[in-house]
């Protein structure tokens, strides 16, 4: 711990004496709240379900953020695990706490191929309510060895296995989805400012000549129009909510209008043409030290050209890279060279400078987690605060970027 704190201190001293953008030295005095640095520009959010948070962590959220996205508690699997059961407890608590403490809540998510209970797609979900019997445990029976060369099942294959049995017909699946959206979006009407209506519908890869939607889950049982219908039902449930399409890597290829970005443009144009009441696009922003920043800026411009608002919805920038040190078996993490934290700060600063240039179309910038130990990328030190809630060089870089108004 002392070694880590010492290294962090050295990094901060280096940062204070080194230019982040090659031109301006950054001077850190009194710690400023992130949200205050971007007042009048866009909301600064974090993502969490607030379960088991310490007073210090809650204080950090109240100080630095004015928006929050539930990381998991509003996903279909969490809220609606079986046909006749809803679990609203965690989500309700988050909304109540956030409202009390002045944070706006963003709903995440109503339609997703992942973390959605199998019953949505089953012809006879009531038959799956009874747990399947497991074979008796045989203590002396060796496990069959795994073939390391065997191909791994695709996401579509794993989804089909999880559903098991015959699939529901299109009309039944749509009725279930509509009931889910109307119930969930209706429950939080006026208490959340908007929704990621659909999440990660576009498959990885592809040349950008088609929408390249996933070939399983809702897109297999219903078809491509499930997205337009989901947006219309969300609008019916909450007429005042902002309604977004959210996805990762959709900025990639923006400069040349190819790949996943080109697919996202085709999808968004279709949704608009079909009358989907979509108001914006969420660029997730799970980035790294070598992220193509030109693609990021061009993607924002392209989405805005469609008349859509933009949000950065799940921002983090990994500090790990090709020059990361050896894996430490005692700490369970890979040592990260000090220079990487300076590179991370530079990337964050350039990103927020882009966001500032386009603050007329950007509504929110949300960091996906509160600290490096409260992150799905734990071990990659991807956020602005370390595991002890101490601001990293990236934090001060973001504050500095906010001064250019």
- Out of 247, 251, 316, 353, pick the active-site residue: 247
Residue 87 in tokens: 């679990």
Bridge partners of 181, per DSSP, are none
Tokens at residue 224, please? 């491509």
Catalytic residue (one of 314, 363, 381, 400): 314
Residues 6+ apart with CB under 8 A from 278: 197, 231, 243, 244, 245, 268, 271, 272, 308
Q: Is 360 a catalytic residue?
A: no
| Rounded distance between C-alpha atoms, residue 105 and residue 209, angstroms | 36
**Active-site entry in 49, 200, 211, 316:** 200
| Measured CA distances, 273 to 267, 269, 276, 278, 298 (Å) | 10, 6, 8, 11, 23
- Of 251, 266, 191, 197, residue with least CA distance to 226: 197
Rounded CA-CA distance 13/9 in Å is 6
Residue 282 tokens read as 């969420």
DSSP summary character for residue 198 = E
Active site (annotated) includes residue 200 = yes
Structure tokens at 63: 């100080």
| Residues with a known catalytic role | 200, 247, 314
């Amino acid at each position: 711990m002392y070694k880590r704190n010492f290294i962090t201190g050295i990094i901060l001293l280096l940062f204070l004496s080194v230019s982040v953008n090659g031109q301006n030295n950054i001077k850190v005095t009194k710690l400023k709240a992130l949200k205050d640095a971007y007042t009048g520009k866009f909301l600064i959010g974090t993502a969490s379900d607030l379960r088991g948070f310490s007073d210090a962590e809650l204080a950090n959220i109240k100080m630095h953020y004015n928006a929050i996205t539930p990381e998991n508690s509003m996903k279909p699997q969490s809220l609606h695990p079986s046909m006749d059961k809803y679990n609203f407890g965690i989500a309700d608590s988050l909304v109540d706490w956030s409202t009390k403490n002045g944070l706006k809540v963003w709903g995440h998510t109503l339609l997703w191929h992942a973390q959605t209970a199998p019953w949505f797609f089953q012809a006879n979900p009531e038959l799956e309510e009874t747990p399947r019997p497991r074979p008796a445990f045989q203590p002396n029976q060796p496990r069959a060895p795994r073939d390391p060369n065997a191909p791994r099942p695709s996401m579509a294959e794993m989804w089909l296995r999880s559903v098991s049995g015959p699939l529901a017909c299109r009309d039944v699946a749509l009725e279930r989805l509509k009931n889910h959206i109307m119930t969930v979006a209706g429950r939080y009407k006026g208490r959340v400012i908007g929704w990621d209506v659909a999440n990660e519908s576009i498959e990885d890869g592809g040349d950008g000549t088609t929408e390249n939607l996933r070939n399983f889950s809702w897109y297999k049982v219903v078809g491509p129009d499930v997205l337009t219908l989901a947006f219309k039902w969300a609008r019916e449930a909450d007429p005042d909510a902002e309604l977004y399409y959210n996805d990762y890597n959709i900025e990639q290829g923006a400069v040349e209008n190819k790949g996943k970005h080109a697919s996202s443009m085709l999808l968004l144009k279709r949704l608009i043409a079909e009358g989907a009441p979509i108001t914006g696009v969420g660029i997730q922003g799970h980035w790294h030290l070598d992220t193509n920043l030109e693609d990021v800026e061009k993607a924002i411009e392209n989405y805005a050209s469609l008349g859509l608002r933009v949000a950065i919805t799940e921002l983090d920038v990994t500090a790990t890279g090709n020059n990361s040190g050896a894996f430490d078996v005692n700490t369970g993490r890979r040592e990260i060279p000090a220079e990487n934290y300076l590179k991370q700060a530079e990337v964050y600063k350039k990103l927020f400078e882009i966001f500032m240039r386009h603050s007329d179309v950007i509504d929110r910038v949300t960091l996906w987690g509160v600290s490096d130990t409260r992150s799905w990328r734990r071990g990659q030190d991807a956020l602005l605060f370390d595991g002890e809630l101490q601001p990293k060089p990236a934090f001060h870089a973001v504050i500095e970027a906010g001064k250019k108004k």
